[in-house]
Structure 1
Amino acid sequence: MATHRKPRTGILTAPGPRAAVGLTTAALATVTLFGESASAAPSANSTTASIKQVQARVNKLYEQAEVATEKYNAAKDKADKQRTTADQLLDEVARKTAKLNATRDTLGAYAAAQYRSGGLDTTTTYLLANDPQQLLDNAHVMDRMSGRTEAALETFRTQTIEIAQERAKAVESLTKLDDAQQELNKQKKAVQQKLTTAQKLLNTLTAKEKARLAAIQKAADAAAAAKAASSSSSSSSSSSSTTTSTKAAKAIAFARAQLGKPYVYGATGPNSYDCSGLTQASWAAAGVSIPRVAAAQYSYGTKVSASELQPGDLVFFYSGISHVGLYIGDGQMIHAPHTGTVVKIAPISEMPIAGYARMT
């Protein structure tokens, strides 16, 4: 899937998780670009607050971009399936047309033989007619034909009807394919628009501000990891140990092998991934075929609670289920976060969790 699109570059090397900085809607609405007052030297605290505002806005844009990415993935999946259907129908039309032509040749041979033996010219005309139904309706012609000719004509009539039906299906399928392709392009533009806006916002930061932003994000990641570790320790001390199935272990091993590979929206590997593309590929490596889109993966799996969570289960995020990661234990997951990042290990607590599902 990834061959037709290029990863975006130039975005901050490690923009933080989208939920790492919590700000109110009013705060997001007041985000301003830097450089508006060159004469005023902002304090460290005010600059940090402004950077956090930018990060919060960028995180929100990444979240929106991922929502659009999942819609893009769904549209592409639908377009791919529709293209396959259309191709199959067109192949069937071609196959049946070849048979029809062979039957037409047979009828032509019968007509020629009848003409040479003194048959009526009208009979020959009917035999070569384009409308087999009209031919069959002329009983006085059929009476003069042999059994083999009648059988060939019936075959010809049936094949003509079947081809007409198959062509109608193919036309309908191609129309649906066109609709799916238009939806795909729409969602692709939506993703690109969000990513472009995020990049422009990040470009307003100076090198010093970007460094400070990275430090803030690193601290937020550390805090989230500590919280996840504490939660995991508390949970394990009060419940029985969990086991990892062979298939889950294979899925995790595959995901670990992808660490460091770039996030690219719509990508399913092997060189880059988006969130649901990574989880789909990981479970495919374990011999389990799961749907392409995060929301569909959630519906496909068996729902489990937080206390039942085991390595290999998928963790889904946000109310609309626009992100997914592969749980590996100890409150950690492997996931492909968003454009500008790479496949990495992160605490599941860094984003609002929508639910959990087991793929086996």
Structure 2
Amino acid sequence: MSALASHRKTRSRTVKTSPAVGFTTAALASVTLLSTQSANAAPSDPKPSVEEVQKKVDDLYRQAGTETQKYNQAKEATEEKRQQVGKLLDENAQRTEKLNESRQVLGNYAAAQYRTGAVAPTAALLFADSPQQYFDQTQLMDRMTDRQRDVIADYETQRAAAAKQRAAATESLESLTRSQRALRTSKQDVQAKLAEARELLSRLTAEEKARLAAIERKKADEARRKAEQKAEQEAKAEAERQRREKEREQNQGGGTGTAPGTGTGSGSSDGTSTAKAAKVLDFARAQIGKPYVWGAAGPSSYDCSGLTQAAWKTAGVSLPRTTWDQVKTGKRVETKDLLPGDLVFFYDDISHVGIYIGDGKMIHAPKPGANVREESIFYMPIYGSVRPA
């Protein structure tokens, strides 16, 4: 009986749960679940203020300007490499043709003098590492004339030059590929910056766009005020220059001679520079109203450095394509000493440039969506200025 008892299953007890306890547990579970979901849910980003949007858009346009200069740089390098590669390939083709003619002459020499060996003379010559080595091995050099030896020596020289030229062409092709890759990358970067700026602006309501326009007007008014101050300073400086010039003429007794040190204008070195600047300004004014297009250098549209390059070209001065190279061209001048025609560069990364026209103003191609126009040089932070000629 005890043995049977040891095999009996223990009877489980059933615990009854009251409806109140069951409801409370379910409620707690729901609260816990909701709390967990709330904790895991990403908080929604607050909408940026109009001031933040304005600052971000300005920064994106500046970055796009920097990328545009990279694009211009890569485009210029690509064109140079493409021309270089084309020239090298043409020269290599001509040299190869000449080598083939020389090889044919050498083959005729070999065929005329070859007497032993199972391999045909022309084939043996073609497979040889060097015609010199081939003729040495076959002991034909001693039987050759001076002219034939000269042909062999000339062939060896041409062959070495052709090999060197092929290596140069290969290197140039690789460099061209790198330039093309950089060009594509710069183009994509510009487009990405501009797309982001457009996206930010598109999210603004009508009221926010009005506020943004007001901010821009305030910024422009401040820049205009500074330009007016500079215009007053320039007017005073010019009046003082004319007064001194008149005194000099009176001291000379009304003579027509020019005293040593007499200039032709305020800060101007000579009449030639003034004439060049006049051509630059005439061209720049004629472009007002044409659209900004990044990477463009005229005649229907421009980016900032494309406009300055085209303007100074009319005065017979060749400027590099990018702002980074243009800032190194000519004589550096202080803002207080600016003269019409001088180039004014902006931002620490030198990503923008305009043509100074006097009175604190410039003509420039501002940014995408804007046209070439006159504007205060104080609208953007000035990096420095140069006088190309």
Calculate the TM-score normalised by the size of structure 1. Answer: 0.79
Q: Which residue of 1 aligns with 2:175?
A: 176
Match of 2:115 among 114, 120, 139: 120
Q: Given the superposition, is the C-alpha separation of residues 133 and 270 from structure 1 closer, same or farther in structure 2, using an over 3 Å criterion?
A: farther
Distance 1:301 1:356 in 2: 10
Matches within 5 A, 1:1-360: 33=47, 50-111=49-110, 114=112, 119-120=114-115, 124-125=121-122, 126-131=124-129, 132-138=131-137, 140-238=139-237, 240=241, 242=266, 245-360=274-389
Q: Given the superposition, is the C-alpha separation of residues 136 and 258 from structure 1 closer, same or farther in structure 2, using an over 3 Å criterion?
A: farther
Distance 2:235 2:69 in 1: 34
Identical amino acids, percent of aligned pairs: 47
Distance 1:162 1:283 in 2: 42
Q: Given the superposition, is the C-alpha separation of residues 340 and 227 from structure 1 closer, same or farther in structure 2, using an over 3 Å criterion?
A: same
Shift of 1:106: 2.6
Q: Please, which runs of 5 or more residues in structure 2 have no aligned partner?
A: 1-44, 242-264
The one-letter code sitting in structure 2 at the alignment partner of 1:96 is R
Q: Given the superposition, is the C-alpha separation of residues 147 and 124 from structure 1 closer, same or farther in structure 2, using an over 3 Å criterion?
A: farther
Distance 1:185 1:127 in 2: 47
Distance 1:133 1:201 in 2: 73
Number of residue pairs the alignment of both structures matches: 311
Distance 1:128 1:121 in 2: 17
After superposition, what is the alpha-carbon deviation per residue over 1:133-177, rounded to whole angstroms, capped at 9, x for unaligned?
422543711122233322222222111111100001111111112
Shift of 1:202: 0.6
Q: Contact 1:33 / 1:201 at 8 angstroms: preserved in 2?
A: no
Runs of 4+ displaced beyond 6 Å: none
Distance 1:102 1:249 in 2: 59
Q: Please, which runs of 5 or more residues in structure 1 have no aligned partner?
A: 1-30, 35-49
Distance 1:121 1:256 in 2: 83
Q: Given the superposition, is the C-alpha separation of residues 101 and 93 from structure 1 closer, same or farther in structure 2, using an over 3 Å criterion?
A: same
Partner of 2:143: helix, strand, or coil? coil
Distance 1:69 1:310 in 2: 27
Partner of 1:161: helix, strand, or coil? helix
After superposition, what is the alpha-carbon deviation per residue over 1:313-337, rounded to whole angstroms, capped at 9, x for unaligned?
0001111211100111111111111
Calculate the TM-score normalised by the size of structure 2. Answer: 0.74
Q: Which residue of 2 aligns with 1:22?
A: none
Distance 1:226 1:64 in 2: 27
Q: 240-249 or 81-90: which moved more?
A: 240-249
After superposition, what is the alpha-carbon deviation per residue over 1:275-331, rounded to whole angstroms, capped at 9, x for unaligned?
111111111121111111101111122101123211010001111211100111111
Shift of 1:345: 0.7
Q: Contact 1:300 / 1:359 at 8 angstroms: preserved in 2?
A: yes
Q: Contact 2:132 / 2:152 at 8 angstroms: preserved in 1?
A: no
Q: Which residue of 1 aligns with 2:245?
A: none
Q: Which residue of 2 aligns with 1:12?
A: none
Partner of 1:310: helix, strand, or coil? coil
Q: Given the superposition, is the C-alpha separation of residues 134 and 213 from structure 1 closer, same or farther in structure 2, using an over 3 Å criterion?
A: same
Q: Contact 2:234 / 2:359 at 8 angstroms: preserved in 1?
A: no
Distance 2:324 2:382 in 1: 13
More relative contact order, 1 or 2 (CA 8 Å, 6+ apart): 1
Q: Contact 1:315 / 1:357 at 8 angstroms: preserved in 2?
A: yes
After superposition, what is the alpha-carbon deviation per residue over 1:31-84, rounded to whole angstroms, capped at 9, x for unaligned?
9548xxxxxxxxxxxxxxx33332221111101111111122222222222222
Q: Given the superposition, is the C-alpha separation of residues 121 and 129 from structure 1 closer, same or farther in structure 2, using an over 3 Å criterion?
A: farther
Q: Contact 2:92 / 2:166 at 8 angstroms: preserved in 1?
A: yes
Partner of 1:70: helix, strand, or coil? helix
Partner of 1:166: helix, strand, or coil? helix
